[in-house]
Amino acid sequence: MDERPIGVFDSGMGGLTVLHECLVTLPHEDFVYLGDGARLPYGPRPLDEIRRFAAEVAGYLERDGVKLVVAACNSATAAALPDLQRHLTVPVVGVLAPEAHAAVLATRNRRIGLLATAATVASGRYSELVQALDAGAEVVAVACPRLVPLIEGDDPFGEETTRAVRDYASELRAADVDTVILGCTHYPLIRPIFQRVFGRGVTLVFSAEETAREVAETLARKGIENDPEREGGYRFLTTGDPEQFRATGARFLQLPISAVEHVEVATLAAAAV
Ligand code: DGL
């Protein structure tokens, strides 16, 4: 039995969609979530810079005493997962491989679409992962820089979001994909808009549930689970504004958020692995 918490991080609040699934799948575990709100968004940044931020945030969580780190951010996973796995002593789970796996299983015509941030698309990691599983499958990737600000904004389900989704989807529809990876932690929040634009014939894949399953399997294989009879808790840290995190975060987590602690970017920088 291992009583240490699980660390989950994201550039901001999108990773709360992953935390939500982890809390449902592993109700007996404790979680600490760190959102790097002061440096959000990661998506438009160069991969090197995202790699540095991820090393700081994950290093901080490891020093804080977590037993496993979940990189609950597609951009951070795309840029930094191998580096984090090399430099941390605790296991690190990312969000790309579970989605790539689910997409390869779901596609019938082996044409897979990807909607993600510019960094995730630029990394080429989804194509590598898909082709490692099925060398004949093709990934058509579209960067969607307008979506994260719209989803974080005041009117995530408004006309402008629908228009942006339609624009980004048009290239994938023209490419005749039958499966689309929603490769960003924010996108599950507007899943109904994607589903309406693509129609029922296209399978949408997103990672929160698959990632939670991988976390559970990793804990079990390594024998570092907490007592299954207990009820776990969760707490939050942000480099941004704690009040804003609390107010907007509940939309992503769909569970209550009470206290949120502030942590300085300089404190993270000192913890880099
Ligand atoms: N969390 C990021 C991702 O999943 C989206 C937000 C950002 O650009 O930082 O790619």
In the chain, what are the domain boundaries? 6-94+209-269, 96-206
Cα distances (Å, whole numbers) of residue 113 to 33, 135, 161, 200, 203: 30, 15, 19, 15, 10
* Ligand 1 pocket member 14 (CB < 6 A): yes
CA–CA–CA angle 180, 185, 190 (5° rounding) = 65
CA of 187 to the centre of ligand 1 (A): 10
Tokens read off for 209:
């549930």
* Ligand 1 pocket member 184 (CB < 6 A): yes
Percent of the chain with pLDDT over 90: 92
Mutating to test ligand 1, I would choose from 148, 190, 248 the residue with most ligand atoms within 8 A of its C-beta, which is: 148
Q: What's residue 234's pLDDT?
A: 96
Q: Among 3.40.1280.10, 3.40.50.1860, 3.40.50.1360, 3.10.20.310, what is the CATH number of 96-206?
A: 3.40.50.1860
Active site residue 184: yes
Q: What's residue 210's pLDDT?
A: 87
Q: What's residue 271's pLDDT?
A: 87
Q: What's residue 251's pLDDT?
A: 85
6-94+209-269 shares its CATH topology with 96-206: yes
Q: What's residue 147's pLDDT?
A: 97
Q: What's residue 117's pLDDT?
A: 98
| Residue ranges in the chain modelled with pLDDT below 50 | none
Q: What's residue 93's pLDDT?
A: 97
Q: Which fold has domain 6-94+209-269?
A: Rossmann fold (3.40.50)
Q: What's residue 258's pLDDT?
A: 87
Count of other CB atoms within 10 angstroms of residue 257 = 21
Nearest to 252 by CA among 190, 164, 193, 210: 190
Q: What's residue 105's pLDDT?
A: 97
Query: Could you tell me the strand order of the sheet in which 111-116 lies?
Result: 138-143, 111-116, 179-183, 203-205
CA distance 100 to 235: 30
Please tell me the residue having the least CA distance from ligand 1 atom 2.
Answer: 73
* Ligand 1 pocket member 75 (CB < 6 A): yes
Please tell me the residue having the least CA distance from ligand 1 atom 6.
Answer: 41
